[in-house]
A and B are shown apart, each in its own frame.
Chain A
Amino acid sequence: MGVMKRVSTIFRAKANKALDKYEDPRETLDYSYQTQLELLQKVRRGVADVATSRKRVELQMNQLQQSSDKLDRQARDALAAGREDLAREALTRKAGVQTQLTDLQGQYANLQGEEEKLTAASQRLQAKVDAFRVRKETIKATYTAAEAQTRINEVFTGISEEMSDVGLAIQRAEDKTEQMKARAGAIDELMASGALSDALGGAPHDDIQAELDRMGAGSGVDAELARMKSELAGSSAPKQIAGSPGPGDAVPQSGPSFSKEQSGSGEA
């Protein structure tokens, strides 16, 4: 016997076992209907869980993308300031963030597929449960217990097969969302621990940014020092300033020193 036939036989045996539980087969219908409604609830919860998981991954992907963009900017700033070592560090971190991002993108697609499948399963089950309710009432109203038996068998076996199939799909989806929660939790932890937090916008201790800021502040100090020096030099010996149109003229004196400060901070 082939695989297809064996699976079908196993599903049928399971349905028959459930049918044998009740003296009056009509009771089986009511019991089964309750189980169907419960399963329907479970599928809907499953769809919602997968969607929640997918949204969490989406949020993390956005955060990681922001980190990656920021590290890229920092690498450029560092390079512009002649700090290749700092640029290299920023790019190394960016590569790490990108690896996480690629992983999450794969998981995101996976969850999206799972969500679509479960939604379709939920719709199929809903259609069958509705049909079952109608058939159940007809059978109960029309037939005696003895007469109902054969009519019930087929309907029951049909819906039971669907329920087994959907039940397995839900189990799989639950397993996947559990795995996803664990991985998303691990990434959150990484971010919280600081391994990724340096790269995140608004992180309290961004050492690359701190270094860049320090360099920026440093060049600002240098520029100010230069300006003060030239001011002092200007007041004691105004003729030393190049391009000065006239001795003792205060306005053009501050002009060149101001533009020097501007170009100094622009390089940082």
Chain B
Amino acid sequence: MIIRIMGEGQLLVDDANVDALNKLDASLEAAVEKHDEAAFAAALQALLAKAREVGTALPADALEPSGLILPREGATLDEVRDLLGDGGLIPG
């Protein structure tokens, strides 16, 4: 599966590893819902680290959409809430 880390680019992740990412993503989502800034930062960091560990970079000229998109490193809780809102934040 192709995943994107925002601000970094796309990675190819073996389907067998997607479950591990989804588990970490569940913690991230819980933190977003609880508005728990500390838990959110930790969960995002763990998710990004795992994605980088199991993924291999897609060539820069690839034109494929991603199945999963991860917020950028250092993203704030509010930023991610905006991203998940109505999509009005996304420019262009």
Contacts and interface: CB of A to CB of B under 8 A. Distances in A.
Interface of A: 2-8, 10-15, 35, 39, 117, 121, 123-124, 127-128, 130-132, 135, 154-155, 157-161, 163-165, 167-171
B47 to A, nearest CB: 8
A159 B84 CA distance: 20
A127 B91 contact: no
Interface in B44-67: 47, 59-67
B28 to A, nearest CB: 5
Nearest to A118: B7
Q: Which 5 A-B pairs have the closest CB atoms?
A: A127-B60, A167-B91, A4-B68, A2-B25, A131-B61
B69 interface: yes
B70 interface: yes
Given A10-B87, A13-B87, A158 B92 contact: no
Contacts of A15: 65
Given A8-B69, A13-B87, A168-B90, 19 more contacts: A3-B80, A4-B3, A4-B70, A6-B84, A7-B6, A7-B70, A7-B71, A11-B90, A14-B87, A39-B92, A128-B61, A130-B61, A131-B63, A155-B63, A158-B63, A160-B92, A165-B4, A167-B91, A168-B6
Given A124-B60, A130-B61, A8 B91 contact: no
B92 A35 contact: yes
A84 to B, nearest CB: 47
A160 B22 CA distance: 24
20 contacts: A2-B25, A3-B25, A3-B28, A4-B21, A4-B25, A8-B67, A10-B83, A11-B66, A13-B87, A15-B65, A117-B7, A127-B60, A127-B61, A154-B65, A163-B92, A165-B6, A165-B7, A167-B90, A167-B92, A168-B7
Q: What bracket does the count of chain B residues touching chain A fall in?
A: 35 or more
A10 B84 contact: yes
A3 B7 contact: no
A165 B66 CA distance: 12
B29 interface: yes
B39 interface: no
A29 B54 CA distance: 34
A135 B9 CA distance: 20
Contacts of B65: 8, 11-12, 15, 154, 157-158, 160-161
Contacts of A13: 87
Contacts of A170: 91
B69 A11 contact: yes
B91 A2 contact: no
Nearest to A171: B91
A117 B6 CA distance: 11
Contacts of B28: 2-3
A157 B72 CA distance: 20
